[in-house]
Amino acid sequence: MKCDMILAGVGGQGILSIATIFGYAAVESGLYLKQAEVHGMSQRGGDVQSHFRISDKPIYSDLVPMGKADLIISVEPMESLRYLPWLNPETGWLVTNANPLINIGNYPEQDALNAELNKLPRKIVIDGDAIAKEVNNPRGMNMVVAGAASLFVGLDFELIKKGITTIFGSKGEEIVKSNIDAIVAGREFAEKNR
């Protein structure tokens, strides 16, 4: 088993929480893991990305080779496209939040952006913000996207949920529940729309 992922978004959107939760499940499953994060300057509202690899065999490189990623997980649609050179063109899936975060003047037109996403044969474009609101977790967009992506990661979904319980446990039962609701809703959407 192996899953090479690129997590993408804009600084502050919470891509590392996705990595933490999947990481928990991977470690619980006895898998090897490598996750290269971005710290420092690029966090200031700039594009951020994380290379995230899990495997049942030892992993050498901290970086995913280009063209070899099984999955792009993005919390922002334009950012998901930035990493296409990494995605395996024959088998890779792209899972992205549909809602743009516009903090630059030359952000592309929505239609043009959708047209690019539509060209991809294997993708889930999910309105993470709307679904998060539906489950009463307006700040849980990243968990919704994580739920959709969980369908392609190859980790036991129960362990992913256990990860949420463990990681958000200190913040109280309510937060745990609302994040589990978000991740379940995201996964259900992906099951219906894959």
Partner 1 sequence: MTKKKMLFLGDEAVAQAAIDAGISGFYAYPGTPSTEIMEYAQGSKTAAERNIHRTWSANEKTAVEAAIGMSYAGKRSMAMMKHVGLNVAMDPFVNSGVTGANGGCIITVADDPSMHSSQDEQDSRILADFALLPILEPSNQQEAYDMVFYGYDISEKYKTPVFMRLTTRLSHSRANVETREPRPQNEIRLPEDKRQFVLLPAIAKKRYKRTLANQQLLLEESEKAPWNKYIDAPDKSLGIIACGLAYNYLMENFDGKPPYPVVKISQYPAPKCYVEKLARECEKILVLEEGMPMIERQLRGLLDRDVKVLGRMSGEIPRDGELNPNIVAEALGLKESIGLPVPELVAGRPPKLCAGCSHADFYAAFVDAIKNKYGDGHLFGDIGCYTLGALPPFQAVNSCLDMGASITMAKGAADSGIFPACAVIGDSTFTHSGMTGLLDAVIDKANIVVFISDNSTTGMTGGQKSHAEGRLFKIVTGLGVDPEHVRIVVPTKQNHDEMVKVITEEVEYNGVSVIIPQRECMQTLRRKTKAAKK
Q: Output 59 or 188, the one with its CB closest to partner 1.
A: 59
User: Beta strands 32-36 and 47-55: pairing type?
Assistant: antiparallel
Rounded Cα distance between 152 and 92, Å, is 9
CB 103 to partner 1: min, Å? 7
> Binding residue for partner 1 (CB under 8 A) from 89, 118, 173, 193?
89
Site string for partner 1, 14-53 (x = CB under 8 A): ---------x---x----xxxxxxxxxxxxxxxx---x--
> Binding residue for partner 1 (CB under 8 A) from 29, 55, 88, 166?
88
CB 133 to partner 1: min, Å? 22
In sequence order, what E strands does the chain have? 2-10, 32-36, 47-55, 71-74, 93-97, 123-126
CB 188 to partner 1: min, Å? 28
Q: Which residues of 18-27 are buried (b: 16+ CB within 10 A; e: fewer)?
A: bbbbbbbbbe
